[in-house]
Amino acid sequence: MVRRRGRRRIAHGALMTRPVVVSAYPLSPAFANWDPAVEHEVLCGLTELPGVAALEVPWIDGIHPHDSAWFLANAPAVALALTPLPFVMRRLATPGYGIASTDADGRRAAIADLRRVAADAAEIGEHSAAHVAVVELHTAPRGEADADALARSLAELGELDWSGARLVIEHCDAHVPGQTPEKGFLPLHGEIEAIRASGADVGLWMNWGRSAIELRDPDAVAEQIAAAANSGLLDALVLSGASDREGPYSGPWIDAHHPFASLDSDAESLLTDDRLHAAVRAAGDAPSLGLKVSRRPDATTAAEVLRVAERHLQVLSGAAP
């Protein structure tokens, strides 16, 4: 039986009829080079942009990658989506690690880490102005993920106290034989199967760029998004670009959160406005949208990156009025 709990909802933004979650860390110059003043200006500035209802922030072995005490004292009063994916990618060096692992020790280790995420979500809610509305899950290990193992993990995770946060599986590029993966996690159909088998109250997030990396065909992404929507589990569609060639953001098929093609002609991004519109249509009535794009490599000030976010939100509002 699916366990239903009362959950904080991400409030609607003013620009669009659906709330938008903006990923803060690919935009912030302070993510790689710690600068508390810049980080504060970016976080607060993003929350003030029309349509922004929540921020995605990383969990990397703790509440903040540089200064957790600073974050608790300075986080704006906003809903947060907490993603441990950067931490999971580091942990892939441990054989068998992941919530979809058939290796008992690896699966237990991944669940233990998520217990720490749950504890930190509670601390954020208790000791900061922000609150965690969403916690993202990722179906490691690379190339060996198993739907039955994932279902067991989801059932266990569904019993934890998440302080009102919604659990979602963020679909990343799946393992494809003969193809070098970025993540190489469980296929979408396996994630859907596991959610249904687990009985846990878990949704799905889709990311345009990560689906493009998996499929190697940008025109096929909308079909995969539609499959997620048709499952009835899709909570959010995140708009993030990808590229099939070398460029200023990355090499081909690297998960570098490329911008929209119409906003940076140098980026070699495959996420054109037509594909953006097709993706939003395919997502149907998914409750939320997301924006996850990187700042330009030469953008080093808060004002510059806030302008990047604002321009992307304007394009997104045209695709999802």
Do residues 113 and 87 make contact, with C-beta atoms less than 8 angstroms apart? yes
Contact 138, 111 (CB under 8 A): no
Alpha carbon 288 to its chain's center: 12
Dihedrals phi, psi of 132, to nearest 5 degrees: -90, 115
Distance CA 229, CA 205 (A): 10
Which of 18, 30, 35 lies closest to 57 in space, CA to CA? 30
Phi, then psi, of 112 in degrees rounded to 5? -60, -40
Task: Provide the pLDDT for residue 17.
Answer: 72
Q: Mean pLDDT over residues 5-12, rounded?
A: 49
Instruction: Tell me the CA distances in angstroms from 117 to 24, 188, 243, 278, 318, one per residue in order.
Output: 18, 24, 32, 34, 35
What's the token pair of residue 208? 């345009």
DSSP string for 249-283: S-STT----B--GGG-GGG--S--HHHHHHHHHHT
232 Cβ partners below 8 Å, 6+ apart?
Answer: none
pLDDT value for 5: 36
Strand partners, 291: 22, 239
Q: Which amino acid is at 13?
A: G
Q: What is the pLDDT of residues 252-307, one digit of tens each?
A: 999 999 999 999 999 999 999 999 999 999 999 999 999 999 999 889 999 999 99
- Sorted by where each starts, the structural domains of the chain and their CATH numbers stand as 20-319 (3.20.20.150)
pLDDT band at 2 (very low <50, low <70, confident <90, very high): very low
Mean pLDDT in residue range 238-263: 97
* Region 128-152 average pLDDT: 98
Give me the amino acid identity at 181. P
| Residue tagged 């993706």 (tokens) | 279
pLDDT value for 10: 66
Q: What kind and span of H or E run contains 170?
A: strand 166-170
Classify residue 261 by its DSSP letter: G
- DSSP-assigned letter for residue 252: T
Lowest-confidence pick of 15-29, 85-99, 127-141, 168-182: 15-29
Q: Helix, strand or coil for residue 45?
A: helix
Predicted pLDDT of residue 16: 59
Query: Whole-prediction pTM value?
Result: 0.94
C-beta separation of 84 from 136 below 8 A? yes
pLDDT-derived band at 320 (thresholds 50, 70, 90) equals confident
pLDDT digits (tens, 9 = 90+) for 47-63: 999 999 999 999 999 99
Which run of H or of E encompasses 86?
Answer: helix 85-91
Q: In the predicted model, what is the mean pLDDT of the chain?
A: 94
DSSP 258: B
Q: For residue 53, how many other CB atoms are within 10 A of its CB?
A: 23
Q: Which residues pair with 58 in a beta bridge?
A: 83
The Cα–Cα gap between 240 and 290 comes to: 8
d(CA 33, CA 56): 19
Nearest CA to 3 out of 249, 191, 201, 282 is that of 201
Rounded CA-CA distance 202/268 in Å is: 35
Compute the distance between CA of residue 90 and CA of residue 107 in angstroms, rounded to an integer.
15
